Chain A
Amino acid sequence: MSGTEFESKYVLAARGREPEEHARLDLLQQIFDPTTEKRLDLVQPGWRCLEAGAGRGSIARFLSGKVGPSGEVIAADIDLSPSEGVTLPNGKFVKHNILVDSLAPLGGAGSFDLVHARFLLQHIYDHEDLAIQRMVELLKPGGWLVIEDLEAATMGAADPYHPMSEAYDKVIAGSVVAMNASLAVDPRPGRALPPRFHRAGLTELRHEAFLYIERGGSPLARWYVQSTEGSRRGYDEAGYSQAVDVTINALKDPDFWFQSGAFHCAWGRKPA
């Protein structure tokens, strides 16, 4: 098993398009941070927390505030350029691949009260159980694993009468099939979180999943447009450029209603 095998498949790598990718990650934070902050309500002062796949670092900073001066936050990512300039008064950013790198630089096995990861599992298709297992290894007995991820299967047009709905649904269905085939992005990592947590030996399992119905031009629509454009090269090479145009046009039309992916979260506790 080699590290490059995993890293090379990340379809939204910032390299060569840093300003666009940083804008996309900023919008991601604006949309999803309020939900994530609510989901991390369990975090207590003094805890030692790991944020895996930290991106631009807003959640690492949130955790840093929650745990206070007596706690510590480690923010890990395979690429630290999006978090350049972000500082943690009681922690640090570490370049780290959760699948293949040694756990020692993070503090080693049994060293965290909380491990959190958002939108990370979808990018490590087929290795989700391994990632969960390593995150569980990093937890102290009694520590919490909290993982958030998406489910693309719910994406689609919401209005049976809009003239673009049928074409939009066709493209989405096609891109989910293409994602599956590429083995680069798992379009449905969210729903499998509780069974994976169960198999990893975690207890006190809890889960929630919700979605939005929105109109073209909303923040979420803009984020989808940016994510589609950011990974566009891959689609174009596969001959999907016209299909991509359909989704982007629909997502810019305020009369077009769409259903988002589902935002799953699972909580599980390592037995004491």
Chain B
Amino acid sequence: MAGSSAYVLAASGREAHEAERLELLQQIFDPTAHRRLDLVQPGWRCLEVAAGRGSIARFLSDRVAPSGAVVATDIDIGALSGLDLPNGTVIRHDILNDPLDTLGGAGSFDLVHARFLLQHLFDHQDLAIARMVELLKPGGWLVIEDLNTDTLTAADPAHPMSERFNQGTAMTLAGLRASRVVDPSAGLALLPRFKRAGLGNLRHEAFALLEQGGGPLCRWYLQSTEGSRRPVDDPAWEAAVDFTIQALKDPDFWLQSAMLHCAWGQKHNGNGEAA
């Protein structure tokens, strides 16, 4: 069985902290996601994979209303319990392993969207994309957002914490990559993966934000760092994480965010052409 059990930010045992972290995630990234999902039309049937706390499922529900429908899935639907959508369904589902029938089956969606999901599937990203494409109707759209941490660095060469911050970040990201649990570069390869999955009309954008310590993005990084922190028998690692957290709280410290990638691709219609 691939994937699901390794999720490093599982809410179990830290529900309140994880709820706060996901709220902040929505506050920071939802305006961008709304813009990126501007193509969605009334009447569409949409799937939100890894719906988290459900804000994007709610947005899609409004966009497709009244004749459309939204299915919101996650491997943990605890955070979706309060989501009451007139035209929506919440389903506990693992995109890598569970049958597609429960979601409506192959060829049943006009749009499949997933944000910050692929990074947690490491070696199974192509499989996840293949299954999402399978769920699309001919002419349907796959829209995937994910990060590439290559830009996650101190922005100010003159700040005394910058060099050590960059060293610590490089070390923790290399550790993450080596763990094969989280892929810190998931956003980078979206387009070639979409191409190989047979999607057409490919489009892509990626941007980064710059922010001073204490800002919303810094707080989110801080919560994500603390939320995924496990006791490690490595004083250098512990010191690096402590230092990272300290820098993210310092308003004189400037941070460049990870790159926020998005790729769009359209499933070919029956004639073998992009619709």
Residues of A that sit less than 8 Å from B by CB: 151, 153-154, 156, 158-162, 191-192, 194-196, 199, 207-213, 257, 259, 262
Contacts and interface: CB of A to CB of B under 8 A. Distances in A.
B75 interface: no
B206 interface: yes
A209 B207 contact: yes
Contacts of A213: 188, 190-191, 204, 206, 261
Interface stretch (B90-98, B106-114, B150-158, B219-227): B150-158
Contact of B205 (A159, A195, A207, A210): A210
Nearest to A256: B192
A209 B208 contact: yes
Interface residues of B, number: 26
Contact of B210 (A153, A161, A209): A209
A177 to B, nearest CB: 14
5 contacts: A154-B259, A161-B192, A207-B210, A210-B205, A213-B191
A212 B205 CA distance: 7
Contacts of A153: 150-151, 153
A210 B257 CA distance: 11
Interface in B152-210: 153, 155-159, 188-192, 195, 204-210
Given A191-B153, A262-B151, A210 B206 contact: yes
Nearest to B159: A195
Contact of B155 (A194, A208, A210, A212): A194
Among A160, A192, A257, the most chain B Cβ lie within 10 Å of the Cβ of A192
A257 B210 CA distance: 26
B254 interface: yes
B73 interface: no
A259 B188 contact: yes
Contact of A192 (B155, B189, B209): B155
A207 B190 CA distance: 25
Given A191-B210, A210-B207, A158 B188 contact: yes
A159 B192 contact: yes
